[in-house]
Amino acid sequence: MGIISIIIIALTLTFDTFAISITAGLVENKIKLWQAAKIALIFAFLQALFPVIGWLLGVQISHLINAYQHWFAFALLVLIGSKMIFEALKNEEQKKTLNIFELKVILVLGIATSIDALIIGFSFAFLDVNIWLAAFIIGFFTYFVAMIGMLVGKKTGHLFGRKAEIIGGLVLVGIGIKILIENIK
């Protein structure tokens, strides 16, 4: 597989990360550069790691995970998105917002958006692909797309005010539903 094909795959894998990064910027419109870089680095690391894991596992379990990966991603995204929506609807005294700066939240979002990369890794096991180069390219593009997404969200977040968290939650639920619909047979 050529480098152009790997770049196209890498860009395709960043769509969900981009949407979630915009959401992060919307919800936390005071996000600092170092915080955005940390989030983007974690997203990039996971997005690069999952194809390697998929490649290593190869055909041994691909038929088991492939049948259910969309349900796993759907459940994680709907759970987090619903929590964001419910928290946004609470009054300020009751409100405990989803903290995008918490490592566990970043990891769950990163894992949810990297499930597709795991499946791509399975396919790489059957192709002539330098997995280390592919993982680097995927991670590289994911990092920059996540940073751009958070910047876009941060710059437009003030336009939405309190509704930003609801919009962010709806985006996550929408991504989860999209994943489910695309993969139901």
φ/ψ (deg, to 5) at 102: -75, 135
* Band of residue 76 on the pLDDT scale cut at 50, 70, 90: low
Q: How crowded is residue 167: how many other Cβ atoms within 10 Å of its Cβ? A: 20
Handedness of CA 48, 53, 56, 59 (dihedral sign): negative
Q: How many degrees, rounded to 5, is the angle at CA 106 between CA 104 and CA 112?
A: 100
Please count the structural domains in the chain: 1
Q: How confident is the model over 169-185, as a mean pLDDT?
A: 77
53-71 pLDDT, tens digit each: 988 887 576 566 666 767 7
Which range among 26-40, 93-107, 111-125 shows the weakest confidence by mean pLDDT? 93-107
Task: Provide the domain limits for residue 107.
Answer: 3-183
Q: Which helix or strand (DSSP H or E) is residue 50 part of?
A: helix 33-57
Q: Which residue has the higher pLDDT, 80 or 18?
A: 18
126-145 pLDDT, tens digit each: 677 899 999 999 999 999 99
